[in-house]
Amino acid sequence: MPKPERHVFVCTQQRPPGHPRPSCGANHGSFSLYAALSMELDQRGLFQKVQVTSTGCMGPCHRGPSVLVYPEGVMYAGMQESDLPAFIEEHLVGGKPVASLLMPQEDWG
């Protein structure tokens, strides 16, 4: 397997109903986002360049789905399936993170 240029982590953490913290998998639809991203990358022939991994909680649960991209180490918050074309074209292909979709700096507080 060739080394991918980028690695995308999509949080699919699930917490039970009634849990005090929301979760990307149970409350923010991250499973369908993960599936749509994987399918889109496959259809575009980008699977050798971009690795996608579902993962557990990465912290900003209230702003999910959370998506982390390396090697840049940038976090996206609240990404929707409708954001995928811009995310793929501008960041995963073009190398420039989509500023309007990034998690606000103050949320790292």
Q: Which residues bind to ligand FES, rule: CB under 6 A?
A: 11, 13, 23-24, 57-61, 64, 66
Cβ distance to ligand FES smaller for residue 5 or 29 = 29
Cβ distance to ligand FES smaller for residue 46 or 84 = 84
Nearest distance in Å: CB 71, ligand FES = 20
Nearest distance in Å: CB 2, ligand FES = 29
Q: Which 3-state string (H, E, C) describes the chain?
A: CCCCCEEEEEECCCCCCCCCCCCHHHHCCHHHHHHHHHHHHHHCCCCCCEEEEEECCCCCHHHCCEEEEECCCEEEECCCHHHHHHHHHHHHHCCCCCHHHECCHHHHC
Nearest distance in Å: CB 15, ligand FES = 7
Cβ distance to ligand FES smaller for residue 13 or 69 = 13
